[in-house]
Amino acid sequence: MPYYIEKSGKQLYYDDKGNGEALVFIHPPGMGRKVFKLQHDLGRDFRVIFPDLSGNGDSEVVIQDPDISTYAMEILQLLDHLHLDEAVIVGYSCGGMVAQEFALTFPERTKALILAGGFPKVGTGGLRFEFLGGMQWIEQSPESLAKLLSHSHFRDASIKRELNEHMAKSDPEAWYAYYNRALHYDCSRRLNQLKGPLLLVYGSKEFWINEHAKYYRNCPEAKMTVIEDAFHQTPATHYDRFNEAVRDFIHEKVQNI
């Protein structure tokens, strides 16, 4: 059963399960919290929290033209609502930009940062092409884009259907705005400010995204895990190895802080 908080008279939804170290998962544009369906298993070891950002999934549109910092503020509000002093912030793909903005703006509330296919800016032509294509697709047929993304992430028919139906609830304008703001976001020059533990997870086959790993070389506490034979969607397509990497990282780098 999802929970919700009120913001400007609107409802923002999240799932919350498990106990222990708190992990907050941040989704890419339009996908909502259901993209982390297979991370619920981590609730056996930790407290896992999955919000729908404003205008995505079940959450209502709070601001018509949100930006990355707006979403970071929503994560702060969620932590305050849950009375959490700090949490491990997990961002997948474009959601990693929100995670990085949160960690850079609120370091005292960030115990560690985990980025699945992370990038501080759209720094390759291949990734820029993906963003522009996604934005155009949203304008023309968000329903078919939701179907494509759900099928590219999951094999199980019931999970595909659940994600597809969840994405269909996302507001197309908010979905487009999330892509557009992320396309122009750049925190690459601030990455040396990330002093806490950082885990980077990449699939070995997504070369135009993996090239962004170079930006994190000066982060003092960075650790990188490459999942062989995987593309970008590691939390979904290779969830067993992704979840294992998260568990190992938290046990080794976080719980002794």
CA nearest to 168, candidates 136, 143, 134, 135: 143
Alpha carbon distance 71, 64 (integer Å) = 12
Q: Which residues of the chain have pLDDT under 50?
A: none
The pairing of strands 110-116 and 87-92 is parallel
Task: Report the 10 Å Cβ neighbour count for 215.
Answer: 19
CA nearest to 35, candidates 152, 135, 198, 129: 152
Q: So what's the pLDDT on residue 208?
A: 83
Q: So what's the pLDDT on residue 255?
A: 77
pTM exceeds 0.85 for this model: yes
Total structural domains within the chain: 1
Q: So what's the pLDDT on residue 1?
A: 63
Q: So what's the pLDDT on residue 62?
A: 87
CATH code, domain with 152 = 3.40.50.1820
Q: How many CA atoms are closer than 13 Å to the CA of 226, on its beta-carbon side?
A: 10
Tokens, residue 19: 């106990």
Q: Which domain holds residue 243?
A: 3-254
